């Protein structure tokens, strides 16, 4: 797989992940339609992991607020008991 092919598949993954369509199906169909070699399961997992990291980074402020609130609740419960 070339860098260009990986980039195209990454763009397909990024565009189709949050739409109500299967990004995994698009990742399987794109190489078949374009007559590219199958990138394999490890590549698909890496793309999905990249999507997970992007979502975690985008919502990092919300995640931090949730963790701080959970810590505060646990500390408050410990003080009350």
Q: What is the pTM of this model?
A: 0.73
Q: Considering only residues 77 and 62, tell me which one the structure prediction assigns the higher pLDDT.
A: 62
Indicate whether 37 pLDDT > 90.
Answer: yes
63-76 residue pLDDT tens: 999 999 999 999 98
Q: Angle between the 60-80 and 41-58 helix axes, to the nearest 10 degrees?
A: 70
Report the C-alpha gap between 47 and 41 in whole angstroms. 10
pLDDT for 60 equals 97
The structural domain count of the chain equals 1
pLDDT for 20 equals 86
pLDDT for 80 equals 77
Average pLDDT over residues 10-32: 89
Range of the domain at 73: 3-80
CB 27 within 8 Å of CB 13? yes
């Amino acid at each position: 797989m070339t860098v260009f092919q990986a980039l195209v598949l990454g763009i397909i993954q990024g565009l189709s992940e949050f739409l109500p369509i299967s990004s995994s199906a698009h990742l399987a169909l794109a190489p078949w339609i374009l007559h590219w070699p199958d990138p394999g399961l490890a590549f698909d997992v890496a793309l999905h992991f990249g999507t997970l990291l992007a979502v975690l980074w985008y919502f990092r402020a919300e995640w931090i607020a949730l963790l701080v609130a959970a810590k505060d609740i646990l500390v408050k419960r410990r003080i009350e008991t």
